[in-house]
Structure 1
Amino acid sequence: MTSQTRRGRLAHVALAAIGASILLTVVIGLLGPSAMVPALAGPAWQPPYSLSAAPEPHLVVALAAVAIVLGGLGLLGALAWLRDIPARWLVVAGCVVAGVLAFLPPSGSGDHLNYAAYGRMVTLGLNPYTHGAVDLPGDPVAGAVEDPWREEPSVYGPVATALQAVASWIGGDSVRMTIFVLALFNAAAFIVTGLLVDRFTRDDPSARLRAALLWTANPLLLYQLVAGMHVDTLAIACMVAALLARGRPAGSGVLLGLGVAIKVNAGLVALGPAWELRRRPGRLAVMAGCAVAVVVAGYAVVGPEAIEPITRTSKSISHASFWKLVQGWLQAVVGTGSAYRGEIQVGSLLVLVLLAWSLLRPASLRSSGAGLSAPAVAAGLVVAYVFATPYVLPWYDGLALGVLALVGASAVDGFVVAHLTVLSLAYLPARVVGQPADLDWLREVLRPQLAWVLLALTVALVVWARRAAGRVRTPRG
């Protein structure tokens, strides 16, 4: 067997794993309410639709675990071996699956129930930035929000809240219809992002295929962003569009502002175009002015109360983050009298700077011979952020993958895919309600152990990046 034949067979195995992963994600939603899928109140004729099969909790969690493992391994294999399939088929398949998932109930977490409740508050005249679902007792939409989030106000930007209010206005008292409208927004954003990335890479078949794997046909993103229906998808769409419109500073600035006004951490992408325009102050001023105007206008509408929840959550540490290990070490050595959040914030910033500096030095993140492009700078910063931040969830990696699809291939692709796979397993599922007691080990044992894997991946990424930079600096004799 020749090496080319072997690679072809491995590529087909990887593609089969991706297909199986996506199919399992669809099946989880199709089966209906379960440990993975929150129930949605409302008339049965309204979308989203499911079989309402009431699957056993262990079954659906196992299906999700297999979907994640197959998706991660299949994606890594496809990025390494897949060469001979037209990218357009993957793009079409991914868009079709995203459309189908919009008609199935969201799975994996209960975040979408919070979105519906925040929109409901707006339509009822309540401020979602100062109130939680608990402040609407007896309301059919707010009542669907799950613990432990019932008292939490919104941490999302004014544009996200506006879309949630539109969905609530259309859905009324029906949780189902409200969620369906939000799912349509979400799926449309995912598809538009995929089409933009595909158009950007259309002149290079290998880059186009890689972009399709990283975004549109990515089984892990279909699982997290589309089936999970996270608001991050909307912000990513704006940021990718902004990077591709950077030749038009006003349009790029408006898109950047919209992305930040959906989710603040997406603002890291704006540093990419800013770097590229650093020697063109007039165009930089136009872009920055438009972006700031959009953000300021949005927050002026919702009020300064919207800022406080964001600053509070920025100091949080997620349970799968390796910074949770650091927090435990500090408490064991120094004492448990403090959460050490301030010290960890400083430490994470230093790690972010180290990672960004290391990633932006190798030529692998440069999309042209002229030096670091806006997408390359944005990719380096966002990848550094998702690896270094103390508060990280699986769907945060979507921004990194969306921007990486715009730059050249490198080992960074594999690091981010592995990071997303591990995080997805750590939050299996990302909800507390409906979980059997004998699966508590997933949250109490597996999740903390996977933090060690994330730490190892972070160290490995730094080592690889610095070695790659050394190879670029050292000319061949």
Structure 2
Amino acid sequence: MTSETRRGKAPGRLAQPAAAAIGASILLTIAIGLLGPSVMVPALSGPAWQPPYSLHLDPGPHLVVGLAAAAIVLGALGSLGLLLALTRASPSGLLATGPPGAGQWLPDPRLLVRLGCLAAALLAFLPPSGSGDHLNYAAYGRMVTLGVNPYTHGAVDLPTDPIARAVEAPWREEPSVYGPVATAVQALASWIGGDSLRLTIFVLALVNAAAFIATGLLIDRFTAHDPARRLRAALLWTANPLLLYQLAAGMHVDTLAVACMVAALLARGRPVGSGLLLGLGVAVKINAGLVALGPAWELRRRPARLALMAGTALAVVVVGYVIVGPEAISPMTRTSKSISLASFWKLVQGRLQSIVGEGSAYRGEIQIGSLLLLALVAWSLFRLMSRLHASGSPHPLASPGSSGLSAPVVAAVIVIAYLFATPYILPWYDGLAFGMLALIGASALDGLLITHLLILSLAYLPARVLDQVMPHDLDWLRTVVRSQIAPWALLGLTAALVWWAWRAAGRVPKPRASTAPPP
């Protein structure tokens, strides 16, 4: 057997079980919602004939948590396996042209996109799972329709309301931290749903599924010219089982922000359109504004177009916040000082308290430290990208034919640096990075980000405070996995990211000096 034949058969042997793992993961995610209310799926009040639908089988906590853990692990392994198979495949084996037994078989990206879109659409008809955030969305929209300001009030202020009553602790006292566009969508859903929590959630789920599918189709169209990039993009977004678990089944508002930002990057040749989409994304969730640094960098030598894009984006954001009022700013600034249990900054906080004392949460010092770490991670990645670009390297992360790093590359670097450095991190935040990563070339960043989402997803099984529902023999999911294992794992992964970036940059060949005589 020749070396070429061995290389040809290797992707097929790896791709088939990896594709099966992805399919199994998606089916398990669907099964969690289909089984009905559980520790993973909050119950929804309203007429039973209204969507979303489930079998109401009352599954036990051990079963649904086990299904979720299996879905997460299988999804991560399947995604990593197919991405590895893709890197090993020969150019002639990029698409599935024969039965799975063929030596160079890899799935057809068009089929993956269709299946991913179908899964996202199906999940919209099932009750959301994994967290209770969607209950907050419904309550904030309800407040708007009742004339109550969601930026100054919490669900606790509507104790007899059938929608607000469903919000879970500890979020009952918390006002909205989302932007005016997100609040407008929530208000529309509440207006349609009325007193039915089920129908309100279903409208929000339809918007969420549409945003997820639209993002996938935009990315697919952008990469359609290259079969390898198209397959990778489908694996990173539309058919990514971890994103289907977190964004589609979890129904997080981040999906809408990602859709706006991906569309803005793909419309960057039209500054007004790009600015409008950037503004809408920021007005959904403020941290999506990190993406705007990408097109801003790309247009730095074209000040008129940059001013037009930035002015349009700023106008959209300002108008949105003028409508909802300045009270919308305060909840966001308060949340920015929080530290999530799975963050390695929680370890730093605990260490400082053990040394200096527990009289302070040391949040200010941790914020400074996180900004320094963000700068280090971003600098390490920009150093690599800049060297690749300067060398004229054919590496997929280089930006050949341009005067500098492209907008998607800059946006991806900034967003990834933020996610690896921020003190407050939740699994669905990674969706923004996957949207950016699907627009640029393949690298070790693919595996690092999938691992990042794997760790966070396992840490938040489920992302609900369920002291009275979760059995005590599952407390270790919060006290051990979320509070101890995940922070150390994320710290090691961040160190691995910086190490890889510096090592890869050191291997980039220096640009050759020109031998042509001066003009």
Q: Tell me, in whole angstroms, the C-alpha distance in 1 between the residues paired with 2:246 and 2:413.
A: 22
1:357 maps to what in 2?
Answer: 379
Between the aligned partners of 2:492 and 2:284, the Cα distance in structure 1 is 32
Deviation at 1:475, TM superposition (A): 6.3
| Contact kept? 2:142, 2:187, Cα under 8 Å | yes
1:420 and 2:453 correspond? yes
Which residues in structure 2 correspond to 1:225-236 (within 5 Å)? 225-236=247-258
Q: 1:418 and 1:360 mapped to 2: Cα distance?
A: 21
TM-score normalized by structure 2? 0.90
Equivalent residue, structure 2, for 1:430: 463
Aligned-partner Cα distance in 1 for 2:79–2:130: 20
Q: What is the alpha-carbon distance in structure 1 between the residues aligned to residue 382 and residue 460 of structure 2?
A: 30
Task: Verify the 8 A CA contact 2:10 2:85 in the aligned structure 1.
Answer: no
Q: Deviations over 1:271-326 (max 9, x none)?
A: 00000000000000000000000000000000000000000000000000010011
Question: What amino acid is the match of 2:161?
Answer: D
State the partner residue of 1:312: 334
Q: CA deviation at 1:6?
A: 3.0
**Equivalent residue in structure 2 for 1:28, among 32, 39, 63:** 32
| Map of 1:451 onto structure 2 | 487
What does residue range 70-219 of structure 1 map to in structure 2 within 5 Å? 70-82=74-86, 83=94, 84-219=106-241
Matches within 5 A, 1:302-451: 302-362=324-384, 363=388, 365-370=397-402, 371-433=404-466, 434-448=469-483, 449-451=485-487
Shift of 1:474: 4.2
Closer, same or farther: CA 367–195 of 1 in aligned 2, 3 Å:
farther
RMSD, aligned CA: 1.2
**1:237 equivalent in structure 2:** 259
Amino acid at match of 1:116: A
Q: 2: CA distance between counterparts of 1:113 and 1:30?
A: 18
Determine the C-alpha separation between the residues in 1 that align with 2:224 and 2:507: 30
Q: Which letter does structure 2 place at the counterpart of 1:44?
A: A
Q: 1:285 aligns with which of 301, 307, 313?
A: 307
1:118–1:165 CA contact under 8 A, matched in 2: yes
1:361 to partner: Cα distance: 2.3
SS in 2 for 1:7: helix
Contact (CA 8 Å) 1:367, 1:407: kept in 2 or not?
no
- 1:365 deviation in Å? 3.2
Residue 49 of structure 1: aligned partner: 53
SS in 2 for 1:222: helix
Mean Cα deviation higher: 253-262 or 324-333: 324-333
Contact preservation (8 Å) 2:76, 2:242? yes
Number of residues of Structure 1 aligned to a counterpart in Structure 2: 477
Please state whether the residue corresponding to 2:508 is helix, strand or coil: helix
Instruction: Give a deviation string over 1:226-265, Cα, whole Å, max 9, x none.
Output: 0000000000000000000000000000000000000000
**Equivalent of 2:66, from 62, 66, 71?**
62
TM-fit CA distance, 1:5: 1.7
Q: Which amino acid aligns with 1:465?
A: A
Residue matched to 2:103: none
Cα gap change, 1:443 to 1:34, in 2 (>3 Å): same
Task: Compute the displacement of 1:476 (Å).
Answer: 9.4
Letter in 2 for 1:76: L
Ranges of 4+ aligned residues in structure 1 off by more than 4 Å:
473-477
Is the contact between residue 157 and residue 261 of structure 1 (CA under 8 Å) also seen in structure 2?
yes
Could you tell me how far apart the structure 2 residues matched to 1:450 and 1:113 are? 26
Aligned twin of 2:501: 465
Measure, in 1, the Cα distance between the counterparts of 2:379 and 2:309.
Answer: 25
TM-score by length of 1: 0.98
Which of 223, 233, 236 is matched with 2:245 structurally? Answer: 223
Q: Which amino acid aligns with 1:231?
A: V
* Deviation of 1:468 (Å): 1.3
When structure 1 is superposed on structure 2, of 82-91 and 142-151 the one drifting more is 82-91
SS at match of 2:507: helix
What residue identity is the alignment partner of 1:281? P
CA distance in 1, matches of 2:219, 2:418: 22
Separation in 1, partners of 2:158, 2:136: 13
Shift of 1:332: 1.3
Q: Which amino acid aligns with 1:446?
A: V
Cα distance in structure 1, aligned partners of 2:30 and 2:401: 42
Write the distance in 1 (CA, Å) between the matches of 2:172 and 2:350. 28
Q: Distance in 1 between matches of 2:10 and 2:291?
A: 39
Per the TM alignment, residue 344 of structure 1 is displaced from its structure 2 partner at its CA by: 0.5
Task: Output the CA distance in 1 between the equivalents of 2:275 and 2:473.
Answer: 50
Distance in 1 of aligned mates of 2:314 and 2:268: 16
**CA distance in structure 1 between the aligned counterparts of 2:334 and 2:507, rounded to whole angstroms:** 42
CA distance in structure 2 between the partners assigned to 1:360 and 1:79 by the alignment: 24
Distance, in Å, in 2 between the alignment partners of 1:87 and 1:125 is: 47
1:4 is matched with which residue: 5, 8, 14?
8
Equivalent-residue separation in structure 2 for 1:219 and 1:367 (angstroms)? 29
- Please list every run of 5 or more consecutive structure 1 residues that lacks an aligned counterpart in the other structure: none
| 1:272 alignment counterpart | 294
More off after superposition, 102-111 vs 75-84: 75-84
* Structure 2: gaps (5+ residues): 87-93, 95-105, 389-395, 514-519
Bigger radius of gyration among the two? 2
Give 3-state SS (helix, strand or coil) of 1:233's partner: helix
Structure 2 counterparts to residues 243-254 of structure 1, below 5 A: 243-254=265-276
Conserved 8 A contact 1:117-1:141: yes
* Contact 1:365–1:372, Cα closer than 8 Å, also in 2: no
